[in-house]
């Protein structure tokens, strides 16, 4: 295989795993592009690679969004679509991708100023949606998401050039210590874990149920965890976690009776739009990695309300 030396974040080559220092800023333009977060919050995000904001959405807003994603996850017209990913070993819905295009309510959420301005501030530019999804994590059946850096996948499989994207997870149910909350490694965003194993074609069909390539090696994970620890995000519905595209994260299976439903939006900078994937891989479908519309999002003038 020929390897381009110009790739700062080489991964899934025929070499072993490696740890590469981050070459990109975490907060762009000094965090001055918008003023949704305080200086202290921007510092926390810069240091940890994530920030939790509590009580962002009201109970009514959360209830309305939760009803919506529950409805989508049992609507036959939705569950038969490719966007609906099933749990490994069952037909329960694990994720619904491109959910901002399948639901008007989620579309409004994706343009809510309470999310957009945080993304604009951190990424120092206008932003567009690279990916969106609802993760259902149903009680008893919801399986884990093994440790990964989203950027590792987006760089290799989607051709995302730089670490200038972030995810926000809007909690639609309480996330407690029992229902498989998101776990993050503080500080891990500063190191890129180059993974072993070449990517099979159409990898996404398998990886979105259970990932096997782009999986960091145990030694690197141990190092990151020993350096920064592991933080689990236990918080009330209506809270939002923003995390950098390279922050190491995962979550355990949900063997509790309580579902853990979250909506994710991935905002990418308009200066970081996708190139072709690495190594001649076929681009993933648009519902997983948007490469057809890089238009900057317009924040909604009137944020979502429960009646909307
Ligand atoms: O492959 C992806 O793009 C997705 N996979 C995981 C496990 N997390 C981020 C992203 O949604
Ligand atoms: Fe992820």
CA distance linking residue 262 with residue 238, whole number of Å: 10
Residue 240: how many CB atoms within 10 A of its CB? 23
Return the biggest CA–CA distance within the chain: 56
Residue 232 has pLDDT above 70, yes or no: yes
> For ligand 1, atom 9, which residue shows the shortest CA distance?
150
CATH of span 22-280 = 2.60.120.620
Which residue has tokens 């009201």?
58
**CA atoms within 13 Å, Cβ hemisphere of 14:** 3
Q: Tell me which of 97, 158, 182, 208 to substitute to probe ligand 1's pocket, judged by most ligand atoms within 8 Å of the beta carbon.
A: 208
Q: Please indicate whether residue 169, judged by its CB atom, sits closer than 6 Å to ligand 1.
A: no
**What is the whole-number distance in angstroms between the Cα of residue 193 and the centre of ligand 2?**
14
Grade residue 129 by pLDDT with cuts at 50, 70 and 90: very high
Backbone angles phi, psi at 88, to 5 degrees: -65, 130
Residue 69 has pLDDT above 90, yes or no: yes
Residue 306 has pLDDT above 50, yes or no: no
Q: Please indicate whether residue 147, judged by its CB atom, sits closer than 6 Å to ligand 1.
A: no
Backbone angles phi, psi at 307, to 5 degrees: -75, -20
Grade residue 234 by pLDDT with cuts at 50, 70 and 90: very high
Q: Find the mean pLDDT for residues 266-278.
A: 97
Q: Find the mean pLDDT for residues 179-196.
A: 97
Q: Please indicate whether residue 151, judged by its CB atom, sits closer than 6 Å to ligand 1.
A: no
At 214 the pLDDT is 80
Grade residue 74 by pLDDT with cuts at 50, 70 and 90: very high
Q: Which helix (H) or strand (E) holds 209?
A: none
């Amino acid at each position: 295989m020929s390897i381009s030396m110009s790739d700062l974040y080489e991964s899934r080559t025929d070499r072993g795993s490696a740890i590469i220092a981050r070459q990109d800023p975490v907060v762009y333009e000094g965090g001055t592009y918008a003023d949704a977060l305080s200086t202290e919050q921007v510092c926390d995000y810069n240091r940890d690679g994530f920030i939790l904001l509590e009580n962002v959405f009201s109970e009514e807003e959360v209830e309305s969004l939760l009803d919506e994603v529950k409805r989508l996850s049992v609507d036959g017209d939705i569950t038969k679509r490719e966007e609906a990913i099933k749990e490994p070993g069952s037909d329960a819905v694990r994720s619904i991708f491109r959910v901002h295009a399948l639901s008007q309510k989620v579309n409004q959420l994706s343009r809510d100023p309470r999310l957009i301005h945080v993304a604009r501030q951190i990424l120092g530019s206008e932003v567009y949606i690279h990916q969106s999804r609802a993760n259902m994590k149903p009680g008893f059946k919801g399986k884990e998401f093994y440790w990964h850096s989203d950027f590792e996948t987006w760089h290799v499989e989607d051709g995302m050039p730089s670490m200038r994207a972030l995810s926000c997870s809007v909690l639609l149910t309480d996330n407690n210590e029992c229902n498989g909350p998101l776990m993050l490694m503080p500080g891990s965003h500063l190191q890129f874990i180059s993974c072993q194993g070449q990517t099979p074609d159409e990898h996404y069909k398998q990886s979105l149920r259970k990932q096997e390539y782009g999986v960091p090696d145990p030694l690197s994970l141990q190092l990151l965890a020993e350096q920064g620890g592991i933080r689990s995000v236990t918080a009330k519905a209506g809270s939002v976690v923003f995390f950098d595209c390279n922050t190491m994260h995962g979550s355990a299976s949900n063997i509790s009776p309580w579902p853990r439903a979250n909506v994710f939006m991935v905002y990418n900078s308009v200066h970081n739009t996708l190139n072709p994937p690495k190594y001649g891989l076929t681009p993933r479908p648009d519902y997983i990695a948007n490469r057809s519309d890089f238009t900057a999002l317009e924040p909604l003038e009137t944020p979502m309300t429960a009646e909307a």
